[in-house]
Structure 1
Amino acid sequence: MSRAPSPFRTAVTLCTFPEAASGPFVFHGTLEVGFAKAVAHGFGAVELFLAGPDAVPVEEIVALSDQHQLAIAAVGSGAGMVKHGLSLTDPDAGQREKARTFLREMIHFAGKIGAPVILGSMQGKSGGAVSREQALDWLAEALHEAGATAAEYHVPFLYEPLNRYETNLFNRQAIAAAWLAEREITNVKLLADLFHMNIEEDDIAAALVTAGPWIGHIHWADSQRRAMGTGHTDPAPIIAALRQIGYAGHISAEIFPQPDADAAASQTLASLRPFATV
């Protein structure tokens, strides 16, 4: 396999902890194999999903990055929820503090390799004893701290609006962007995941244009969370929207490895190839 020409900063997801074995990540298993697969397919970066901030030494990540000449696009914090059951909006104060500590340590870890951290599932939700107003106050406090901590490493922090089946906090890009502005939360960008947007947005391209200045990362997935080009999403207007807003971040494949990891990786890059000279 060889590198395909692309004007985009492409990335592919690598997950190393077994609790997320059924998750939407292209390569599962060891980092050594994942890095080698990523570079063989022609990606320019990897997006890492690790068990926690102490799961892998920083030096190992740096060595693999140098060896394969791959950037680290981002580091996910999903293990905080999937593996450790932590949420920033947990009704228990002790659990919320554990969640904030986990996130803080992930930011320090990722910062040392020059990468932003993603907040997705750990944002939690409102309900029961936790009102929406209270949940958003706790989320705002955590994002203020996360943005400030990430700024120490000159990287942004990434907040991901999820679909309605995963959170009831923010599901749409423009509404999340307006709230970040209202709360004066700095150094926090939005992660625009096309799978979630397929569920929640009336028009994905228009949503990207509206939230343009806030968009900091893209998860490139088709409507059914498989590789782009296997579902019913039209990538052309999305690429046009990204060009319109001057997006210069990574386009990363956070997708199910179907029919297998190599096929998903190849199809991801193939879906971008038609736009290489447009």
Structure 2
Amino acid sequence: MKSCITISLVEEARGGPFVLWDGLEESIRFAGELGFDAVEIFAPSIEALKLDRLGGLLDSAGVKLAALGTGAGWVKHRLQLADADAEKRVQAKAFVRSVIDAAGQFGAMAIIGSMQGRSDDQVDPATARGYLAEALEDGGEHARQYNVPLIYEPLNRYETNQCCTVEDGVKLLQSLNTDNVRLLCDLFHMNIEEADIAQGLLIGDKLVGHVHFVDSNRRPVGYGHMQYVPIIDALREIGYDGYLCAEAFPWPDPHEAARQTMRAYRYWTSRK
């Protein structure tokens, strides 16, 4: 399993669960100094990433790009994949494709989390789920050209009513025609929704494509009450060799949160 840390460039999300906020160049440099294998970036737009410079920044720091989030599609642009408005759904899928294309240049994945939307008084649950499935089909096949999967994240009940558990996510992915979508298992969301986090990971099995490595209170690992022995054992049992990525509050501050994440990553992945 490899180490990864989140970088946010979205001012509208400041104070949210992303570790590094000090600009792209400084954040990538700091991640490299701490020994992280990769970064996951949450950007307001593809233009803000300045892709012509991003490769050089990553190479200089000795880190890879693990994934790009699509959350700004919702947080900043108010686009979501289950919108009642057909034109808004078209725009949302186009935004997702643009993130897939940007990430794909670096062999990285795109993540669909908050953009999945939800059912409401305008869209019933079955229709909302159908719109989401259609978008995952589209995005999964679009990502195939880059030899990476599209990543879909079940969220807790306070953030979506689409898929809240790993089992729900597995059922959704198994209903698709494409086989190029994987699950993001976020330990914070799982702590709310799963009766047993380790069992949830075992249910996800080979569909687990990315993990958000965080504690029970969404602080960095070690600052909450999460029990990691069964979690790490379950990840090893399913043969997970992807990223453990810190999507956590920058507590007590971004730099110490990053250092604590690396300490925790080294401790838990070295444990026999």
Cross-structure match for 2:225: 232
Give the unaligned 5+ runs of structure 2.
Answer: none
Q: Deviations over 1:96-143 (max 9, x none)?
A: 111111111111111112110000000000010101111111111100
Aligned mates of 2:116, 2:240 — CA distance in 1? 25
Q: Is the aligned partner of 1:126 residue 2:119?
A: yes
Alignment-mate amino acid for residue 83 of structure 2: D
Contact 1:58 1:113 in 2 (8 A): no
Residue 21 of structure 1 deviates from its aligned partner by 1.1
Tell me which of 37, 41, 65 is aligned to 1:44. Answer: 37
Given residue 244 of structure 1, which amino acid in structure 2 is its aligned partner? E
2:185 aligned with 1:196: no
Distance 1:99 1:263 in 2: 36
Residues 132-180 of structure 1, C-alpha deviations (whole Å, 9 max, x = no match): 1111111111000100111011111000000000000000002211221
2:92 aligns with 99
For residues 125 and 268 of structure 1, what CA distance do their matches in structure 2 show? 32
Establish whether residue 245 from structure 1 lines up as the match of residue 238 from structure 2: yes
Checking the alignment, whether the CA contact within 8 Å between 1:14 and 1:31 is kept in structure 2 is yes
1:66 pairs, out of 56, 59, 81, with 59
**Map of 1:211-222 to 2, 5 A cutoff?**
211-222=204-215
Match of 2:19 in 1: 26
Q: Distance in 2 between matches of 1:83 and 1:29?
A: 19
Residue of structure 2 equivalent to 1:159: 152
1:56, distance to aligned residue in structure 2 (A): 2.1
Matched residues in 1 for 2:22 and 2:10: separation?
7
The alignment partner of 1:256 has SS state of coil
SS at match of 2:49: coil
Q: How many corresponding residue pairs?
A: 271
Q: Secondary structure of 1:251's match?
A: strand
C-alpha separation in 1, matches of 2:2 and 2:145: 24
Between the aligned partners of 2:4 and 2:29, the Cα distance in structure 1 is 13
Give, as a single letter, the amino acid of the residue that structure 2 aligns with 1:233.
M
Candidates 254, 261, 265, aligned match of 2:258: 265
How many percent identity over aligned positions? 44
Partner amino acid, structure 2, of 1:237: P
The alignment partner of 1:34 has SS state of helix
- Corresponding residue to 1:274 among 259, 267, 270: 267
Give the drift of 1:29.
Answer: 3.0
Cα distance in 2, alignment partners of residues 60 and 225 from structure 1: 31
The CA RMSD measured in Å over matched residues stands at 1.0
Tell me, in whole angstroms, the C-alpha distance in 2 between the residues paired with 1:40 and 1:69: 9
* Contact 1:41/1:266 (<8 A) preserved: yes
Matched residue SS, 1:190: strand
- Report if aligned partners of 2:7, 2:27 keep a CA contact under 8 Å in 1: yes
2:219 alignment partner, SS class: coil
1:84 has 2:77 as partner = yes
Is contact 1:104-1:149 (8 Å) kept? yes
